[in-house]
Structure 1
Amino acid sequence: MAKDTRLQKMLADCGVASRRKAEEMIQAGWVTVNGETAHIGDKVDPRRDRVAVKGRPVQARGKNVYIMLHKPRGYITTMSDEMGRRCVAELVKDIPERIYPVGRLDRESEGLLLMTNDGEFANKMVHPSMHVPKVYRVTIRPGITEDQLTQMSVGMEIDGEKTLPASVRVLEQQQGRVVLEIVLQQGRNRQIRKMCEQLGLEVARLKRIAMGPVKLGMLQPGQYRELTKEEIKGLLASARAHARRGAQLEPPPHGPRPSHRPGSSRRK
């Protein structure tokens, strides 16, 4: 039988970890195939080869599980932590399948977090070419100017690379406090916090309230629920649609017209 399945894909399909995390496991020497230490680029026959992670055999996955969790503040987006910090695994202990987070929210952020044991689904949700839109409600201090709103909208230079255009609008404005809705088309690490830091703004609260067609709704912190078939299909359709538009999202040399029009979104 031909060995035509990449090892990291097989591990993801079996619900061990995302492809990226599986690659890290392989590089760390945790994975063996038929008793031999595996390497990046290895291919396997899932029906015949004996694959193990840290000596534990990898079992074929049962049913696919897709959930949305309301991640509370103070939890890290991982299934274990050597430093003993609280992680999202503690919130889904009653789920028998081995699921893992799709993407991440940093420790002090909260809101919608997808989790699954379907490696292909997870890869489509986080792949840079997919641009699944993510909606955040962000409370900042002390306030924000029209110029700062425009900079966030058209894209900013972060870690040597310009961000894609974002939709930014003011939801609430009080003395020393502004609530924004920010829609990102990409998933760069701590993007909103880095944008705000660069503009001299303090992020008091950051909450993801939607991803594609899936909305957090009334789900309370620490609670989770299974995604419906319609939501799963909607997420995949959103990924495909935004992948087709991906090239159009790349900012031109002088930047696109801002999605925020000064003065148009402020509430009186």
Structure 2
Amino acid sequence: MAEQRIQKVLADQGICSRREAERLIAAGKVKVNGHPVTLGDKMDPDYDKVMIDGQTQRIVRKRQYTYIMLHKPRGYLTTRSDDRGRKTVMDLVSDVPAMLRPVGRLDKDSEGLLLMTDDGAFINMLTHPSGGVGKLYRVTVNPRATEQQIIEMSSGVVLDDGVKTKPCVIHVVVDEPGRSVLEITLHEGRNRQIRRMCSAVGLQVVRLRRSAEGPVKLGMLQPGEYRELKKSEINALRNAAMKSAGKGESRAASPARRPGPLKKRTNSD
């Protein structure tokens, strides 16, 4: 960690206020590595030892967390280990020097954006029901989805366990005889939810890919590849989770939209 002004370190650690720290330094009561300091002096909180009135102050080193985005391919389990020896997402990030955990999950037959980190608080923030960060999925179904089926799913359907899903947003991207391609935005994460929603209205999911989570998009990342999240993306996810929690997840469904110009889109399924 880079050097910081001593009064800032003391304030950040909660030892005293910055103003009080400045007063103590000016009074000659603060030493770093055994040497008296003056206002304006700096220290490295990762290595230097600070004393106030002869008492060593405990400095808590801030842990550096790892945040990555993985393009999960089909055929991989979203789990840290599997007692049957099947492939897991951990096989794809084995060279990352951190104890990563998936943020939520994608089932074995699904693909797309999967966030992973060793920051437990970050995981809890994004997966807690009050967070409700929207996740965008591109879903190919057959047969062709009717207007009524789309309205039913977007309004909320009763799943096979008797639980009704929350309203969601559905846009029709491709509308052809025998199949439809839908973009579905969910604010909840029940087990295999989209597949079960489609099954409840008589549709079969042929392909399912998560394209975005909150403000973070999969982009051109290829299956099996990963990259570190940018600081701006991490902050944006935190802000989205806090904003959603503040709204209490009260969201209305958007009407289904049949494709006009959307048919010209070239995104692959």
Deviations 1:180-213 (A, max 9, x none): 0000011111110000111111100000000000
Identity of aligned residues (%): 54
Residue 107 of structure 1 pairs with residue 108 of structure 2: yes
Deviations 1:147-204 (A, max 9, x none): 1010011111122222111000100122211100000011111110000111111100
The alpha-carbon distance between structure 1 residues 61 and 220, as it changes in their structure 2 partners (threshold 3 A), is farther
Amino acid at match of 1:266: P
1:126-165 mapped onto 2 (5 Å cutoff): 126-158=127-159, 159-165=161-167
Residue 38 of structure 1 corresponds to which residue in structure 2?
Answer: none
Q: TM-score, normalised by structure 1?
A: 0.72
What is the CA distance between 1:61 and its match in structure 2?
Answer: 9.4
Residue 204 of structure 1 corresponds to which residue in structure 2?
Answer: 206
Contact 2:132-2:249 within 8 A present in 1 as well: no
Residue 88 of structure 2 corresponds to which residue in structure 1?
Answer: 87
> Who wins on radius of gyration, i.e. which is larger?
2
- What residue ranges of structure 2 are gaps of 5+ in the alignment? 1-60, 264-269
Give the number of aligned pairs: 200
Q: TM-score, normalised by structure 2?
A: 0.71
Provide the C-alpha distance between the structure 2 equivalents of 1:140 and 1:247, rounded to a whole number of angstroms. 27
What is the CA distance between 1:79 and its match in structure 2?
Answer: 1.6
Residue 46 of structure 2 corresponds to which residue in structure 1?
Answer: none
Provide the C-alpha distance between the structure 2 equivalents of 1:208 and 1:192, rounded to a whole number of angstroms. 11
1:14-25 mapped onto 2 (5 Å cutoff): none
Residue 52 of structure 2 corresponds to which residue in structure 1?
Answer: none
- What residue ranges of structure 1 are gaps of 5+ in the alignment? 1-59, 250-255
Amino acid at match of 1:161: V
The alpha-carbon distance between structure 1 residues 61 and 224, as it changes in their structure 2 partners (threshold 3 A), is farther
How well do the aligned residues superpose, as a CA RMSD in angstroms?
1.6
Residue 259 of structure 1 corresponds to which residue in structure 2?
Answer: 254
1:57-96 mapped onto 2 (5 Å cutoff): 62-96=63-97
Secondary structure, aligned partner of 2:250: helix
The alpha-carbon distance between structure 1 residues 168 and 157, as it changes in their structure 2 partners (threshold 3 A), is same
What is the CA distance between 1:94 and its match in structure 2?
Answer: 0.6
Provide the C-alpha distance between the structure 1 equivalents of 2:215 and 2:254, rounded to a whole number of angstroms. 20
Provide the C-alpha distance between the structure 1 equivalents of 2:102 and 2:62, rounded to a whole number of angstroms. 16
